[in-house]
Amino acid sequence: MVPVSHGCHVIGHRVIKGGSDLDSDSDSDSVVVQREQMENAELWYFGIFDSLIGDGVTKYMQSHFFQKQLKESHVSKKCKETLKKAYLNARAKMREQEKSDERCSNRMSSASVIVVNGEKLVMANMGNYRAVVCRDGIAYDKNGRHQQSAKRHYWTRRLFSVRILACDSGAATRHSKSSELVVAAERIDSDTEFLILASHGIWEVMKNQEAVNLIRHIEDPQEAAECLAKEALIRMSRSNISCIIIRFD
């Protein structure tokens, strides 16, 4: 359980394997949730990383971004730049460590999101892990699919409520053939309802809009994450099932 603070309510983390709750597994995804304060900027960092990447991206972000004394005006720009470098660094290290198997670095998968002051999303992913945003009932991913021109809203600071459940099936991960990195940033506006951060175990059996339609009516993010994970199991997903649901109030 993560403490409640500054309007952000984070509830629950669960690892599920074969119907049993487990604390960890060598082949399981790493699920990260943390809150950081930089001057007057509040940041929430969420990530799902496969066992190949592990905590590489998180450690880089901690030492090269979160521990820096950045001014609030510089946080947003540096956030995107550093997140990109963190992924590139993790991929380079994996390639160096796995010279005997060059295919290994092309199988890495992960997705992460940083929420800046409840106003901006900075998202990144490699492989088959993905972040999908629901805006007024429509699913959008970082590649801009289904993207429409967003309404513009101006405010100095918008706090939001976040509650999370992460579910991991513990099954073997089926990796992407490509480790292409995608990094994007977008504003959180009045149409932004929630965000799904999930592993390949979700996306191999569901399209973006299917996942959004399945849980849109569920206001409790914990219940929504459970619903999404269970549906993936029902659909016979063969990969790790890890998901985080973030609702914006």
Residue 107: inside a domain: yes
Residue 217: inside a domain: yes
Q: 158 pLDDT exceeds 60?
A: no
Residue 158: inside a domain: yes
Per-residue pLDDT at 7: 34
Per-residue pLDDT at 142: 72
Total number of domains in the chain? 1
Q: 18 pLDDT exceeds 60?
A: no
**Quick one: pLDDT band at residue 25, thresholds 50, 70, 90?**
low
Strand 130-135 to 110-116 pairing: unpaired
The enclosing domain of 92 has a CATH number of 3.60.40.10
- Among positive and negative, which fits the CA dihedral 60, 63, 66, 68? negative
Q: What is the pLDDT averaged over residues 140-162?
A: 49
User: Given phi > 0 = left and psi -120 to 50 = alpha, else beta, which region is 127?
Assistant: left
Q: 216 pLDDT exceeds 80?
A: yes
**Which residue, 139, 111, 137, is CA-closest to 125?**
111
Residue 4: inside a domain: no
Residue 11: inside a domain: no
In the 8-state DSSP scheme, what is residue 201? H
Give the structural domain span for 107. 16-247
Residue 51: inside a domain: yes
Residue 2: inside a domain: no
- Segment 126-136, tens digit of pLDDT: 999 999 999 99
Per-residue pLDDT at 24: 46
Residue 9: inside a domain: no
